[in-house]
A and B are shown apart, each in its own frame.
Chain A
Amino acid sequence: METPPPKRLPKAVAWLAAASLLAGLAVAGMAWAALTPAAPYRFHGTSYTDNRPMPDFQLTDQDGRPARLSDYRGKVVLLEFGFTNCPNVCPMSLGNLAILNQALQPGERQKVQVLFVTVDPQRDIPATLKEYMPFFDPSFRGLTGSPDQIAQVAKQYGVYYRRLPIAGKPDGYTMDHSAYLYVIDPGGRLRVTYELDQLKNVAPAVQDIRQLLHSA
């Protein structure tokens, strides 16, 4: 007489088989994800892949203290050139950068620094910048220096600027200047630039900054 096959065992075996199959699939999935390179992130601005740290600079901040680019290692630096008597493009872009800054999470904000480098060092002394910057955001820093120091930094970034007389105002002048935002990653490398006009919508830049913060 044959003994009836045990009833509980096949069920247990089936469960075990199903479980190992699932585990196997999960492992295979993880291996697949690890081995397949993710599609590279595409920055919304103009992307730079030189992977070369920007040269350090030594300027003076709005409190009259020395400021170097290397002081901000570990942060994403958003750097723009402008001047405080600029009526149109500079307040527009700094206003948009303030909106951008507020769009970040508090933890992210601590790792992002906006720097405004004047191209008008004759008029933009530290005291002027100290009045100017907090109007947009208390965390923004304004940098100035001697005309030679400013010229050198501008050269490093390929920034063009020049004084323009204002008709009928012998003492007055305005400035022509390149209008870009330079995004420097926590390792000090230039990664993305935007035309300042592009910052009217901050969402794409916020996404790019998050990418730089989280891939650092």
Chain B
Amino acid sequence: VKARPLLFLIVFGAAARLFADPGVSVGGAWLRAVPPSSTATAAYMTIQNSGTSSVRLVGAETAVADSVEPMITTRKEIDGQTVVGMETVPHLKIPAGGRLTLAPGGDHLMVMGLKRRLHEGDQVTFVLVIEPGHTRLQVTLPVLRQPPAR
């Protein structure tokens, strides 16, 4: 019981130091659990930019996959019907004083070439790369089957 405040200080202190510098913070991050036969999944989160200029999420690094790339979900009308697709984009913008929401069915970080099976409940570390300044932001993502309850 005594260790708790200390643990809290360590965790909170580390997070605060990591996030304070670029003025960018991450909330609600998670990685979708996928079946064993799938080599790709997606990471979701909300990135808040409290700074006075916009920043760009250009990608992420993780030990569990070959690559992590920003993707947008496109919706096109083809022959009168909605066709969804994905497109790799060089970056996703986070406006000054605004936020970027990566959510199922929308913009996301596509995680390709999974190197190991991800089980529900696993915790996976991502290092987000934010430009300008090549800021590296470490985030821990729980592996979930469904979006976390709000």
Per the bound structure, the CA–CA distance linking A88 and B108 in Å amounts to: 8
Residues of B within 8 A of A175 (CB): 85
A211 within 8 A of B: no
B105 & A84 in contact (Cβ 8 Å cutoff): no
A157 CB → nearest B CB, Å: 10
Interface of B is mostly: strand
Give me the interface of A with B, judged by CB distance under 8 Å: 84-89, 91-92, 95, 99, 128-129, 131-136, 158, 160, 164, 166-167, 169, 172, 174-180, 195-197, 200
B83 within 8 A of A: yes
A88 & B73 in contact (Cβ 8 Å cutoff): yes
Given contacts A88-B105, A160-B79, contact A132 B37 (CB under 8 A): yes
A55 CB → nearest B CB, Å: 18
Determine the interface band of chain B, counting residues with CB < 8 A from chain A.
20 to 34
Give me the interface of B with A, judged by CB distance under 8 Å: 32, 34-42, 67, 71, 73-74, 76, 78-79, 81-88, 104-105, 108, 110-112, 145-146
A87 & B34 in contact (Cβ 8 Å cutoff): yes
Residue of A128, A169, A178 touching B82 (CB-CB under 8 A)? A178
Interface of A is mostly: mixed
A160 & B81 in contact (Cβ 8 Å cutoff): yes
Residue of B36, B38, B79, B145 touching A95 (CB-CB under 8 A)? B145
A158 & B81 in contact (Cβ 8 Å cutoff): yes
Given contacts A158-B79, A177-B84, contact A197 B36 (CB under 8 A): no
Residues of A within 8 A of B41 (CB): 87, 91
A132 & B110 in contact (Cβ 8 Å cutoff): no
Per the bound structure, the CA–CA distance linking A33 and B44 in Å amounts to: 52
